[in-house]
């Protein structure tokens, strides 16, 4: 059966949410120059839009790559590190971890564990989307955009088997 894309979050709603998150980060980091770390691949569009909206000077932008989905639409629960960080980059620095979506919490928790080993002075999580109904481990989201229902979604950087990332809005996939 063919898959159908059903609109879930419009491009305008995403833009408004990103602007609001940027304002919150600017408020809280007004006297800092944080390092912003995006989790690839899904967060790359959100990360780019977010830092372009921020007025706060950013010390550095880094990327990490984790995987728990492979080609499936459900997380395997086995989080793999595909790309990491250089040693010493975050030592005694304020760090903002940027995620596209917090789903089961497994990959986000793994990313936070990894980042903590780099000795940041502070570490906060900013997520565009949260799907709490699928949570397997607790995750504290310090800056949250939108809570969504338990649907498989694509668009705005989020993919299904590497497809649909380029869509400017977010869609659920229905069969």
Classify 23 as helix, strand or coil: helix
Distance between CA atoms of 148 and 130, rounded to whole angstroms? Answer: 6
Catalytic residue among 94, 103, 130, 150: 103
Q: Can you list the pairs that 65-71 forms with residues at least 24 positions away whose Cβ atoms lie under 8 Å?
A: 65/39, 65/40, 65/41, 66/39, 66/40, 66/107, 66/110, 66/111, 67/107, 68/104, 68/106, 68/107, 71/161
Distance between CA atoms of 139 and 167, rounded to whole angstroms? Answer: 27
How many CB atoms are closer than 10 A to CB 44? 17
Active site residue 26: no
Annotated catalytic sites, by residue?
A: 103
């Amino acid at each position: 059966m063919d898959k159908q894309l059903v609109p879930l979050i419009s491009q305008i709603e995403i833009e408004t949410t990103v602007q609001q998150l940027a304002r919150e980060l600017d408020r809280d980091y007004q006297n800092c120059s944080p390092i912003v770390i995006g989790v690839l691949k899904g967060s790359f569009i959100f990360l780019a839009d977010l830092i372009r909206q921020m007025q706060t000077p950013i010390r550095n932008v880094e990327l990490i790559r984790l995987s728990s989905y492979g080609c499936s639409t459900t997380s395997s629960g086995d989080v793999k590190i595909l790309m990491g960080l250089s040693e010493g980059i975050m030592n005694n620095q304020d760090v903002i971890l940027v995620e596209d979506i917090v789903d089961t919490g497994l990959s986000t928790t793994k990313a936070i564990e990894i980042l903590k080993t780099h000795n940041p002075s502070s570490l906060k999580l900013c997520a565009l989307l949260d799907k709490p109904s699928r949570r397997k481990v607790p995750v504290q989201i310090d800056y949250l955009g939108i809570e969504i229902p338990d649907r498989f979604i694509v668009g705005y950087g989020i993919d299904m088997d590497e497809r649909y990332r380029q869509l400017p809005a977010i869609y659920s996939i229905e069969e």
